[in-house]
Chains A and B, each alone.
Chain A
Amino acid sequence: MAARKRTPPLVEMTVNGEAVTVDRAPMVRLLDVLREDLHLTGTKEGCGEGECGACTVLLDGEPVCSCLVPLAQARGREVVTIEGVPADHPLKRAFVEEGGAQCGMCTPGMIMAALSLPARPSLDAVRAGLAGNLCRCTGYEAIYRAVQKAASERIGGAE
Chain B
Amino acid sequence: MRTALSRLTLHEPRTLAAALKLMRRAGPLVPVAGCTDVYVQLQFGTQPALAYVDLSRLSPLRKIRRQGDVLVIGALATFTDLICSRLVRKSLPMLVAASREIGGPQIQHRGTIGGNIANGSPAGDSLPVFAVAEAVVVLANADGERRVPFSAFYTGYRRSVLQSDELIVAVEIPAVEGAQWFRKVGTRAAQAISKVVMAAVRSPHPRIALGSVAPTVVRLPQTEATLASGAGIAEAQRVLKEEIRPIDDLRSTAAYRLQVSANLLEAFWETTA
- Interface residues, chain A, with chain B CB atoms under 8 Å away: 5, 8, 24-29, 32, 48-51, 53, 56, 62-65, 67-70, 72-73, 113, 116, 128-134
Contact = CB atoms under 8 A, between A and B. Distances in A.
Contacts of B52: 27
A56 B191 CA distance: 14
A69 B104 CA distance: 16
A73 B109 contact: no
B12 A50 contact: no
Nearest to B193: A51
Among A49, A67, A129, find the residue whose CB has the most chain B CB atoms closer than 10 A. Answer: A49
A65 B107 contact: yes
B165 to A, nearest CB: 18
Contacts of B39: 29, 49-50, 67-70
B109 A25 contact: no
Given A63-B105, A132-B103, A25 B190 contact: no
Interface residues of B, number: 32
B85 to A, nearest CB: 16
Given A50-B39, A50-B40, A131-B190, A27 B104 contact: no
B32 interface: yes
B189 interface: yes
Given A26-B12, A72-B12, A51 B35 contact: no
B109 A62 contact: yes
Interface string B114-158: 000000000000000000000000000000000000000000000
A105 to B, nearest CB: 16
A129 B40 contact: no
B191 A73 contact: no
Given A24-B6, A73-B35, A68 B191 contact: no
Interface of B, secondary structure class, is: mixed
B106 A63 contact: yes
Among A65, A116, A131, A132, find the residue whose CB has the most chain B CB atoms closer than 10 A. Answer: A131
Given A27-B52, A49-B39, 17 more contacts: A24-B6, A26-B9, A29-B39, A49-B44, A51-B191, A53-B106, A62-B80, A62-B109, A64-B106, A68-B34, A68-B110, A70-B32, A72-B10, A113-B106, A132-B107, A133-B104, A134-B191
Nearest to A6: B9
Contacts of A29: 5, 39
Contacts of B103: 50, 132
Interface string B17-50: 0000000000000001011100110111000000
